[in-house]
Amino acid sequence: MLTAHALRGIFSVIPSPVDDDDRIDEHAARKLIRYLLGQGVDGFLALGGTGEYGGLSQRERVRMIETTASEAAGRVPVIAGVLDAGYHDAIESGKELAAAGADALLVLTPYYTNPTQAGIRDYFLRYADAAPLPIMIYEIPYRTRVAIDPVVLHELSKHENIIGMKACNTDMWHFLQTVAGVDASFSVLSGEDSLFPMHVAAGARGGMLVTAAYLPTAWQRIWRLADERKIDDALALHRTLIPLMQLMFAECNPGPLKTVLDVLGIDSTRVLAPLVNSAPDLTARLREELVRQLDIFETAR
């Protein structure tokens, strides 16, 4: 069983390549996973927001995890996102994704119903008790409109089947309070490309990062520097990626990210409804910047 000890380093958040029928393009997915394995990533997160969980049918979600787990072949952990709004759909999806080969489940804070903190606490405790795999908490309040009180996270972190979280809360004070009180058996991973070195300096053990689908080498260097407390060097390197991050998140993720997958030689750039591919001008600027960054970091390897 996966433990918090394995939740360390750079986990690439991967998009879900699809064909014209909105079915997983297995060839393209395997090509992307092989590229990232060759770059030395520490794990994968599939079916998060970047993986368009909400745009895929459940059958295609299962196929994406089957494909990812098959290609990873146990070399690195595969975390499967579970982004349903209600408990019963979420637990059934988690069971199917576990059977498909996932090593852990990243469970999103319940949304739309605007639960109280007591409701959030009970939801995750109930899910952890019933889940077939270890779970991680996915907190992303700018999408769910619900933040988890750090005190609640401290309590949840003590549950033996809750091994970590992906922290996408841009409030640094909230992050500092969270990291200060979680159990030693619980791994906090940054989910914010823009704040990653600061999150590591504050106690994150790594990150689940969107742009690590393109530049894992760059993020690994930033991670090592920050983990070694060479924070000035980590921040200096992080600043060089700001132009790319500004473009990659100029429209709702994963629109821009998927639109330029062809830069990696992956001809599967279709985005699922209700999202669309990024605007032509943004795409051109993003492609130019991405090629420039790839040249820099490939040369530096």
Return d(Cα 112, Cα 146) in angstroms, integer.
9
Burial class of residue 155 in the structure, from the number of CB atoms within 10 Å of its CB (0-12 exposed, 13-18 middle, 19+ buried): middle
Sequence-distant (6+) residues with CB within 8 A of 196 are 190, 204, 207, 209, 219, 222, 223, 226, 238
Residue whose structure tokens are 């200096």: 236
Among candidates 12, 7, 8, 10, which has minimal Cα distance to 264? 12
Type of residue at 176? L
Q: Tokens standing for 120?
A: 């959030």
Number of other CB atoms surrounding residue 246 within 10 Å? 13
Q: How many CB atoms lie within 10 A of CB 122?
A: 13
> Residue 102's beta-bridge partner residues?
none
Rounded distance, CA 236 to CA 213, Å? 21
Which of 123, 127, 138, 214 does the annotation list as catalytic?
Answer: 138
Respond yes or no on whether the N-terminal peptide bond of residue 17 is cis (omega within 30° of 0): no
Phi, psi of 299 (to 5 degrees): -65, -35
Amino acid at 30: R
Residue 166 annotated among the catalytic residues of the structure? yes
- Which one from 31, 123, 127, 166 is the annotated catalytic residue? 166
Enclosing H/E stretch for 28: helix 26-38
DSSP state of 168: -
**Among candidate residues 130, 136, 132, 74, the one with its CA nearest the CA of residue 105:** 136
At residue 87's C-alpha, the angle toward residues 90 and 46, to 5°, is: 20
258 noted as active-site residue: no
Residue type at position 294: L
Residues marked as catalytic: 138, 166
